[in-house]
Amino acid sequence: MIPAFDLLHRKIQEAIWNQETKWERLRPLQEDSIRAVLQRDNDIVLAAATASGKTEAAFLPILSRLAEEPDRSGVGAVYVGPLKALINDQFRRLEDLCKYAEIPVHKWHGDVSATQKKKFRENPGGVLLITPESLESNFINYGAHLERIYSRLEFVVIDELHSFLEGVRGTHLKSLLARLRLAAGADPRMLGLSATLGDWTVAQQFLDEALPASVEVISPESDRNELKVGLRSYLKAEEEGEEREDPEFIRLVSDLAKDFRKGSNLIFTNSRGLAETLADQLQQISHQEKWARNPFRIHHGSISKEIREEVEGELKLGEGHGLPVTAFCTATLEMGIDIGAAKAVGQIGPTWSVNSLVQRVGRSGRREGESSILRGYAIDENPAPEGNIEDRFYPNLLRFCALIELMIEGWLEPLDEDDWHLSTLIHQMFSILRQTGGLRPDRLFFQLCEKGAFRSVESGVFQNVLRALGSVELIEQMADGNLILAPKGERIVESKDFYAAFQAVEEYSVRCGEDEIGKLPVDSIPPVGQHLLLGGRRWQVIDIDGELKSVFVQPSRGYTKPVFMGTSGFIHDAVIGKMREILSTKEPLVYLDAEAMNRIESARAEFHRYHLDRSELVPFPGGVRWFPWAGTKTMLTIVTEASLREIKVECGLLHLTFSGMKDEERFRGFLNELVVGASDPLELAAHLPAKHFHKYDECLDTETLDRANARRILDLGGTARVARSALGKWRK
């Protein structure tokens, strides 16, 4: 077999030899990718942990192919990344490789100057790094030039593919790539760079809808590191008060200082507010204890780009330069931005999904031979004798354990294919009508549904969406049959936030003098004279300028709890099921410290005390508690079913409380109705407490919106399953 290195173009070989950090050898992933790209012609998924060389695995063979045509006009390869910071990072890495082969490399996103963009449009070529939103701007503003720029396109590389596989941005990107093929007349090979997934089917479908089985998955076992895990438990104070005065919170801060004061580390939180609070407390401790240097920093989306890049630079320098750094962060560092080798990852509170936990853990153990290290910290309510029954199961600790167990087993959440993504469909309708100036309905359906990203949307649903848009005067039909944007639709497309298919939140810039500290959501701005935490520092608001959308602050010693809201998400049935499995067994969880293990044992005792090993129903005077051990969708469906029947119910993470349900036969009848699926899905969706989840949902007519929500929000099959289980375990 010819060595993979020998398959590369001579100039790319020279580029490898001339790298500042000498390559001792190609990694298995890179060798396999070089052979797959240069010796075969199918689409490819490259799957491995962060910093395993995925970018080079994709681009070494791609650049070799482009180097064979040095006089090529037009873009040869497009790299799509989810973050501007990630694109900037990859641009620096590719620029070094490309200069030896004399292949131009360009980037296009909101921070790139108009001059650079114009230069690229006038002389396109080589490699283009771009975000989905900037690719959208190409269609809106330069639709007539797409064929000239992209007709020679051979490769599309999608970084962080797993982050695009579901949700608005993924559907948006899939639609843009399908439209690019049609507009440019190109059929590029697709390469997806991804973290390891449990099921590759949807990733393969994303890259090749027609022949998903033809997509090759390259995921060498040898690139996977040993995993080391530790998990601690903390309880909130029984009395309401300042979080920073809570003894358990003080213990958490002390443990973080001990665990992360050395080395380069990342600590993920589920809210920006908690990240700010912890960074502030460690800043105070560093002053009180007179540390020579405070190694704790903060990094999240509300902090200015300059501060984030400064933190990234410190992390990248790392301990090798005698500068240990630990950054409190949110999802901003979950992606593959190059921040060097993190020694360990901390996670405060359980993530909403196994996928997210795996991605975060993958930020550590990046050096060859190193282990990935996860240090978890679960914070629960202190269970009171007459308090919430769920508190006795320490649900955050228990859910964290379930996520870890599933991660160790290699299970990851499957992807939801039931969503029509009608809001994103409307966005793409507007975009195409702006790009083309007008199009017949059948051609619009052909581009978006028959050949595009919305193949599950039937013709009848598509026509209903068009009628809804026409009824609110967003589009109109001309005498020749073409659809065009109406004046109201034109104003939407011309708005500054149109390029993103997701809903943008209005933010104000926070400034100290001429320096921007970061941004705050408009509903999170304190009044003048009040204090805020941002960037790990304390500030006092001195002025708010509505016209400039700016908050002016000055340094302060005053403290106030941050006002950022935490993230939320849907929890899969398998996570809740694993929680029940942990409670029902006697197996020790070796990654728990003694206190956490004692609390799990206490939760197990409560599980058996309530006979939840044999039943799912816990009667109480005047009602019943039902533990269906189901995820968010099923729980929401049960609540909506009860609301439809005017049955009073309160929903927790693990159980539902039916008050006033004294008649057992009535509750049995309710369960039987759930089993047989007596409710009309549309009628059920009409009773959802909230209906508008995405940017253009409000443009839809009521019936179409209810049909869409019945598919994406409700789970009638799961509801029937858990109701059948409850009836089967009924305690008479």
498 and 481 in contact (C-beta within 8 Å)?
Answer: no
So where are the chain's domains?
4-223, 227-409, 422-491, 609-728
80 bridge partner residues: 130, 158
CATH class name, domain 4-223: alpha beta
Distances (CA, A) of 200 to 195, 265, 452: 11, 30, 21
How confident is residue 16, by pLDDT bands cut at 50, 70 and 90?
confident
CATH class name, domain 227-409: alpha beta
CA–CA gap between residue 474 and residue 477 (Å, rounded): 11
Q: Which two tokens stand for residue 138?
A: 């190409």
CA dihedral 7, 11, 13, 18 (to 10 degrees): -170
pTM value? 0.84
Report the pLDDT value the prediction gives residue 338, as an integer from 0 to 100. Answer: 61
Report the pLDDT value the prediction gives residue 198, as an integer from 0 to 100. Answer: 64
Segment 644-664 mean pLDDT: 86
Residues of the chain above pLDDT 70, percent: 91
CA–CA gap between residue 279 and residue 503 (Å, rounded): 29
Write down the CATH number for the domain with range 422-491: 1.10.10.10
Statement: residue 672 has pLDDT above 50: yes
Report the pLDDT value the prediction gives residue 671, as an integer from 0 to 100. Answer: 93
Q: Which of 8-17, 126-135, 365-374, 681-690 has the lowest mean pLDDT?
A: 365-374
CA–CA gap between residue 587 and residue 601 (Å, rounded): 10
Sign (positive or negative) of CA dihedral 335, 339, 343, 349: negative
DSSP 145-172: GHHHHHTT--EEEETTGGGGSSSHHHHH
Instruction: Give kind and range of the element (H or E) at residue 257.
Output: helix 247-260
How confident is residue 116, by pLDDT bands cut at 50, 70 and 90?
very high
CA–CA gap between residue 98 and residue 101 (Å, rounded): 5
- The mean predicted confidence, pLDDT, of the chain is 88
Using one digit for the tens of pLDDT, what is the confidence trace for 551-592?
Answer: 898 988 765 555 544 456 789 999 999 999 999 999 999 999
CA–CA gap between residue 477 and residue 480 (Å, rounded): 8
Same fold, 4-223 and 227-409: yes
CA–CA gap between residue 297 and residue 311 (Å, rounded): 7
Report the pLDDT value the prediction gives residue 474, as an integer from 0 to 100. Answer: 97
Report the pLDDT value the prediction gives residue 673, as an integer from 0 to 100. Answer: 92
CA–CA gap between residue 473 and residue 488 (Å, rounded): 7
Segment 61-76 mean pLDDT: 91
Report the pLDDT value the prediction gives residue 382, as an integer from 0 to 100. Answer: 92
